[in-house]
């Protein structure tokens, strides 16, 4: 058995194998040999067949082969993160496809090497959508070819067909793929995490990217962080094959990966849970299918499947476990077989090769192996730390609340530092193939046009929804609302912003040194900067012009004593902070992402709502010299300690405020109180209260505001301070807040804008949060979506199921009548129904089965989770399925005014005081007027007070139902 890569350390690189003619005859045996050499550790291997071997004598006779459903690949996104949409086109032959791919519009560009072509691929990915002749059933192998015949691999996956007679196209049957330049396949693992084999019959090469299986979960968490909406909709959204992440992003976040180029006549084998993606260099034809070994069975049992699409592949593992793991079958059926998968362990079929290697290994090689093993252990330890970090950064998005994720196009990508039990500084030895970054406490020199280039970058970006809706943020276009901007440059702030008592900042020699270093880290703002001019203004700073205009509104009443144009009142500020910390999410900073949900006092540890990426921001120059930053003080379960200031009573998560929980005591003080800067306020908004940090020129800023304002930057990400405001464009300071502009004489602070089109509506982040402005996650790169009151459509009003109260008998509600319209009705009866959820063998699922639909269960008790059951469907046939769960659902019997009754779920019933969705409002009717009784009761109504209307003489010969006619004429 031979490999071209004998010197590679196991698991570090994709191996290339060159079997002899004899070795090439037995496919399963050679796969076992490859795993004995550690090829599976990389997740992918390349196999070069013996010289002279050909699967087909000639390819000249395939021009008339029909590609039934070629797809056009429309890609949206930028900066290394993309979404791919497939648009089906009309059928075409291979000859037509080849002709199209060779056109100037679709042919590949000139390139010196594959690296240059790769750069051009990622640079031009969103332009000129290519065609891809994917998923064409069939094979190009000659019938007499037995070696590595993709249609007849004879692996244990054939058990599916042998035992059940089921053929799954592309899984246990071959698929053909006709590619052209730029046609690509997104990041994914194989269906059920199977093996796959791909042979490139002819044409241009194919480039592959592979993430080792042991790091697959990290890639999943990274993808969930960048595409939170997709992750919320489907846990296994990467199986949709729509997500493209460039290698530059993987490098930035230290996700290990390898690149492989497959030439014509070569095989690529992928191993279970190996995430891979790639693209074609030009016109080519490949053939692919899936296969399995005994090692795959554990992967198949634990595979995370897509449940949102009915065409997803699902294979019942019963037959495999019963046949190959009979001793674990009962344990597995009971749901107790939770053995962790060892990605480094080869398949059991490789045992004989491992024994041969042991018997043939010379003694002098042992020291080298030991050295390699130590290096691998160090690498594994380092990756384990990184894996823990990404568990904190990429997977901690909170989807149950309305959240806000900010886009930072200035490459803000700092990661938290490893967290150790002793909290000592971790200094891992340099590791090969892992890009490390440094977190610098001093901003790099900024280009004068940095803000301009950022705007231009955002302006060029488009986010295309599946419905082809173009959606561009207003600030991406540089439109700050002409009608909102005053002609003057001078902007005055409250008098509290004018001076800072520097003498009170000296808390000892050590703290003074720290403060000086922190101040030295921040560039001084120029004299003409709005924040400086405001503080130096000689004009009176009592900006109160229309004091009563806001105080009368319900959301503004609690803020009456917190406006910065009012005298400082520490007592009122403490009361406000105490009131806010008694409500979810109990953190002064996280309130930005949690609007108007009031429950009981929470635990002392809760999950922060602000993802780490919102804090981990640097300039583009800094990103080149970054190292993984310190831990954000999160526990392994994603919770963070809630701490309260003993002076001003603000409550924050230790991770949100950048405080090491080990240093917190009963007398802990926030940064402002520690500096005795009690009269200082946020320079970016108009409100007091909340958690503040130090900023440029001895200014102070809410951490909440620094997160919300796009260009603000945390210099020390771990400590969340100081905050560099020098990157905020001057135009943003000219915006006037929609809520407090009537109250303030001059525009002050810094606003964020509505994200809909060119809407100029602007808000201070604190005003927007207090007033309940909708801020929700968006897909990257537009991960923040602010919706003003004018654009708040009913379709965006999501019903909070937790807040939906139970209904009572006799209560007036609104429900859908059998005629399709909505009417008021009465709740006449309450009941509870039990529905079963199952996953069918063909990959589809149902979550509203009645217990009697399960024909194999004799008792009324639900079967155990994972139990194989038989389901009688509405067509009368019985289908195999696996039981998932039983759901108890409250059902309500409602009665309409016509006497008809209907049983509905709580989700389908609306209370009278509930805001109705647009689709309900448009079909809402009031049937309480007695003159409409004829429609329901079908009795004739003749009103003597009105002159009887007669039928038009033109239609006297036609029969018209009197009840309908009179009802219409009434």
> Which residues pair with residue 716 across a beta bridge?
721
Which residue is associated with the tokens 């993802």?
Answer: 611
- Coil, helix or strand for 613? helix
CA dihedral 857, 860, 866, 868 (to 10 degrees): 10
SS3 832: strand
Does residue 190 have an active-site annotation?
yes
**Beta carbons within 10 angstroms of residue 34's beta carbon:** 24
Phi, psi at 93, each rounded to 5° = -85, 165
Are the C-beta atoms of 253 and 413 separated by less than 8 Å?
A: yes
Residue 200 near residue 264, CB atoms below 8 Å: yes
Question: What are the distances in angstroms from CA 399 to CA 142, 233, 242?
Answer: 52, 10, 21
DSSP conformational letter for 610: S
**Residues whose CB is less than 8 angstroms from the CB of residue 393 and which lie 6 or more positions away in sequence, other chains included:** 221, 225, 415, 416, 611, 612, 613, 616, 632
Q: Which residue has the tokens 């039981």?
A: 883
183 and 132 Cβ atoms separated by less than 8 Å: yes
CA 659 to chain centre: 28
In degrees rounded to 5, what are phi and psi of residue 8? -70, 140
> How far is it, in rounded angstroms, from Cα 712 to Cα 704?
11
> Which letter, b or e, does each residue of 594-606 get, where b requires 16 or more Cβ atoms within 10 Å of its Cβ?
bbeeeeeeeeebb
Question: Is 170 marked active-site?
Answer: yes
Q: Is 234 exposed, middle or buried (0-12, 13-18, 19+ CB in 10 A)?
A: middle
Which of 23, 147, 188, 399 does the annotation list as catalytic?
188
Residue 622 Cα distances to 406, 414, 441, 703, angstroms: 19, 10, 10, 21
Please say if 791 is a catalytic residue. Answer: no
Chain centroid, CA 81 distance in Å: 12
Helix H, strand E, coil C: the string for 666-721 is CCCCCHHHHCCCCCCCECCCCECCCCEEEEHHHCEEEHHHHHHCCCCEEEECCCCE
Catalytic residue among 190, 484, 496, 719: 190
Q: How many CB atoms lie within 10 A of CB 457?
A: 15
CA distance linking residue 22 with residue 605, whole number of Å: 63
Which residue in this structure is represented by tokens 């090439």?
A: 24
Peptide bond just before 507 cis, omega within 30 deg = no
19 φψ region: left (φ > 0), alpha (ψ -120 to 50), beta (else): beta
Q: Kindly name the residue from 196, 207, 254, 288 that is annotated as catalytic.
A: 288
Question: Are 765 and 708 in contact, with CB atoms under 8 Å apart?
Answer: yes
Q: Which residues of 753-785 are buried (b: 16+ CB within 10 A; e: fewer)?
A: bbbbeebbbbbbbbbbbbbebbbbbbbbbbbbb
In whole angstroms, what is the distance from residue 35 CA to residue 28 CA?
11
Q: In whole angstroms, give the CA distance from residue 36 to residue 646.
A: 62
Say which of 170, 203, 282, 481 is annotated catalytic: 170
Catalytic residue among 30, 132, 175, 177: 177
Separation of alpha carbons 133 and 259, rounded Å: 23
Whether 288 is a known active-site residue: answer yes
- Give SS3 for 164: helix
Helix (H, G, I), strand (E, B) or coil at 958: coil
| Spatial distance between the Cα atoms of 552 and 469, rounded to a whole number of angstroms | 39
User: CA-based angle 754:758:764, to the nearest 5?
Assistant: 30
535 membership: H or E segment, kind and range: helix 530-536
Indicate which residue of 40, 240, 276, 343 is catalytic. 276
Structure-token match 């390898």, residue found:
258
**Annotation says 177 is catalytic:** yes
Residues involved in catalysis: 170, 177, 188, 190, 276, 288
């Amino acid at each position: 058995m031979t490999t071209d890569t004998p010197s590679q350390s196991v698991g570090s690189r994709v191996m290339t194998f060159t079997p002899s003619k004899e070795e090439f005859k037995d496919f399963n045996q050679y796969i076992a040999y490859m795993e004995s050499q550690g090829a599976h550790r990389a997740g992918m291997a390349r196999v070069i067949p013996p010289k002279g071997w050909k699967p087909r004598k000639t390819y000249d006779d395939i021009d008339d082969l029909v590609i039934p459903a070629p797809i056009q690949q429309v890609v949206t996104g930028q900066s290394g993160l993309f979404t791919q949409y497939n648009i089906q086109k009309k059928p075409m032959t291979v000859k037509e496809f080849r002709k199209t791919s060779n056109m100037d519009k679709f042919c590949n560009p000139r390139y010196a090497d594959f690296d240059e072509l790769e750069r051009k691929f990622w640079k031009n990915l969103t332009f000129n959508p290519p065609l891809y002749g994917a998923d064409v059933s069939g094979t190009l192998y000659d019938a007499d070819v037995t070696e590595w015949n993709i249609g007849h691999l004879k692996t244990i996956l054939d058990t599916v067909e042998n035992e059940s007679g089921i053929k799954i196209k592309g899984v246990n049957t071959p698929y053909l793929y006709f590619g052209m330049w730029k046609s690509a396949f997104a990041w994914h693992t194989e269906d059920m995490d199977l093996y796959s084999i791909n042979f490139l019959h002819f044409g241009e090469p194919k480039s592959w990217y592979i993430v080792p299986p042991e790091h697959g979960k990290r890639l999943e968490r990274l993808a969930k962080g960048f595409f939170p909406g997709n992750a919320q909709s489907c846990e296994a959204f990467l199986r949709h094959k729509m997500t493209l992440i460039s290698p530059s992003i993987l490098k930035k976040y230290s996700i290990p990966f390898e690149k492989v180029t497959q030439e014509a006549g070569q095989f690529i084998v992928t191993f279970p849970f190996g995430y891979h993606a790639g693209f074609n260099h030009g016109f080519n034809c490949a053939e692919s299918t899936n296969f399995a070994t005994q090692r795959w069975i554990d992967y198949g049992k634990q595979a995370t499947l897509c449940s949102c699409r009915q065409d997803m592949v699902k294979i019942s593992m019963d037959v495999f476990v019963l046949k190959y793991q009979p001793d674990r079958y009962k344990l597995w059926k009971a749901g107790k077989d939770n053995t962790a998968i060892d990605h480094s362990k080869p398949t059991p079929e490789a045992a004989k090769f491992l024994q041969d290697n042991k018997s043939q290994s010379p003694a002098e090689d042992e020291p080298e192996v030991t050295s390699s093993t130590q290096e691998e252990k160090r690498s594994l330890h380092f990756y384990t730390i990184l894996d823990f970090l990404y568990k904190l950064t990429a997977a901690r998005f909170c989807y149950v609340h309305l959240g806000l994720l900010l886009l930072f196009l200035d490459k803000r990508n700092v990661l938290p530092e490893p967290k150790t039990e002793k909290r000592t500084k971790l200094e891992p030895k340099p590791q090969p193939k892992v890009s490390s970054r440094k977190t610098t406490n001093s901003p790099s020199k900024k280009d004068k046009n940095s803000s301009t280039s950022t705007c231009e970058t955002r302006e060029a970006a488009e986010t295309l929804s599946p419905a082809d809706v173009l959606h561009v943020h207003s600030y991406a276009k540089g439109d700050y609302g002409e009608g909102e901007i005053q002609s003057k440059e001078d902007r005055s702030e409250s008098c509290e912003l004018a001076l800072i008592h520097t003498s009170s900042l000296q808390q000892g020699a050590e703290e003074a040194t720290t403060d000086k270093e922190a101040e030295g880290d921040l560039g001084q703002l120029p004299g003409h900067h709005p924040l400086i001019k405001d503080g130096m203004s000689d004009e009176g700073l009592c900006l109160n012009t229309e004091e009563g205009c806001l105080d009368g509104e319900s959301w503004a009443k609690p803020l009456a004593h917190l406006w910065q144009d009012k005298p400082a009142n520490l007592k009122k500020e403490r009361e406000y902070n105490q009131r806010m910390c008694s409500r979810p999410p109990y953190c002064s900073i996280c309130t930005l992402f949690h609007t108007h949900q009031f429950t009981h006092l929470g635990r002392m540890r809760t999950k922060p709502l602000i993802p780490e990426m919102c804090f981990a921001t640097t300039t583009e120059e800094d990103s080149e010299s970054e190292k993984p930053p310190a831990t954000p003080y999160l526990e392994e379960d994603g919770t963070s300690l809630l701490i309260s200031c003993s002076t001003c009573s603000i409550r924050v998560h230790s991770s949100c405020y950048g405080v090491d929980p080990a240093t917190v005591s009963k007398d802990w003080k926030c940064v402002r109180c520690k500096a005795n800067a009690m009269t200082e306020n946020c320079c970016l908004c108009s409100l007091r209260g909340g958690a503040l940090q130090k900023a440029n020129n001895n200014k102070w800023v809410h951490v909440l505001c620094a997160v919300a304002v796009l260009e603000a930057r945390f210099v020390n990400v771990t400590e969340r301070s100081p905050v560099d405001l020098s990157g905020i464009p001057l135009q943003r300071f000219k915006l006037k807040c929609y809520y407090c502009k009537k109250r303030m004489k001059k525009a002050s602070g810094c606003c964020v804008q509505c994200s809909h089109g060119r809407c100029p509506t602007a808000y201070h982040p604190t005003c927007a949060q207090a007033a309940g402005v909708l801020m929700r996650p968006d897909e990257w790169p537009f991960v923040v979506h602010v919706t003003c009151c004018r654009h708040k459509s009913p379709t965006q009003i999501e019903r909070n199921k937790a807040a939906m109260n139970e209904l009572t008998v006799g209560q007036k509600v609104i429900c859908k009548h059998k005629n399709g319209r909505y009417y008021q009705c009465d709740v006449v009866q309450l009941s509870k129904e039990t529905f079963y959820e199952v996953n069918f063998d063909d990959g589809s699922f149902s979550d509203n089965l009645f217990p009697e639909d399960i024909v194999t269960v004799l008792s009324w008790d639900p079967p155990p989770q994972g139990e194989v059951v038989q389901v009688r469907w509405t067509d009368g046939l019985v289908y195999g399925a696996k039981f998932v769960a039983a759901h108890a659902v409250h059902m309500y019997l409602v009665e309409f005014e016509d006497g008809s009754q209907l049983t509905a779920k709580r989700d389908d019933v609306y209370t009278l005081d509930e805001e109705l969705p647009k689709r309900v409002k448009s079909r809402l009717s009031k049937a309480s007027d007695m003159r409409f009784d004829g429609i329901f009761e079908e009795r004739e109504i003749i009103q003597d007070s009105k002159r009887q209307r007669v039928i038009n003489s033109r239609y006297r010969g036609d029969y018209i139902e009197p009840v309908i006619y009179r009802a219409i004429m009434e």
